[in-house]
Amino acid sequence: MINEGSSTARLSQGQSLKFKDLLAALLLPSGNDAAYTVAVNTARIASGNPNMSDEDAVKYFLVLMNSFAADIGATSSNFVNPDGWNDEGHLTTVRDLSLISAYALNDSIISQIVSKQKITVTFVSGGSRTWENTNYLLNPATPYYLPNAIGLKTGSTSTAGKCLASAVVVNGKTYIAIVMGCTTDTERYEATLELLKLLEGL
């Protein structure tokens, strides 16, 4: 169901993994295959219909997704797919991404995953895989590394550009920075660092 050119976690049919590990597949390598897998399985569980088709499950999930976003105050967003791919009517704002980011950081499982530079998981069905975080703020091998960074998520499309929702802890407080519309990876990290330099102690 993913679009050609999508980033993936290299998941294969028949693999079985814990939901926490599936979230790692979604959040670290930006696995669009994991996004659809999360969507379909969540919808089947939430609806009580384990036999729901993939297509119907994605539609059901999107209703849940938009309702949840609205509930936490992200009222200017509209999601029409689970992976953020360019699509008519699919949109969000800096304010809404800030709200979603803050909510995500309050979830102990999500916050733990997005703070890791890499994660190795063992599939229930056998085998293992290591996923690296696409967020250079967490990678000591890059010039953008920040020791006090705790996440959060990269995003890239041809219409939105290179985007980054980042989070750092300074003097015991957590700060979130949102950068959108950059033309290169370098630009999104440089813009993020410029924003974060406004914080004392960074």
Q: What is the pLDDT of residues 69-87, one digit of tens each?
A: 999 999 999 999 999 998 9
pTM summary value: 0.92
Q: What are the backbone dihedrals phi and psi of residue 48, each rounded to the nearest 5 degrees, phi first?
A: 75, 10
Q: CB–CB of 90/82 below 8 Å?
A: no
Phi-psi region of 30 (alpha: psi -120 to 50; beta: other; left: phi over 0): left
pLDDT confidence bin for 201, thresholds 50/70/90: low
pLDDT digits (tens, 9 = 90+) for 147-163: 999 999 999 999 999 99
DSSP state of 73: T
pLDDT digit string (tens) for 86-104?
A: 898 999 999 999 999 999 9
Can you list the pairs that 41-44 forms with residues at least 24 positions away whose Cβ atoms lie under 8 Å?
A: none
Residue 5 has what pLDDT?
87
Q: pLDDT of 4-56, one tens digit each?
A: 889 999 999 999 999 999 999 999 999 999 999 999 999 999 999 999 999 99
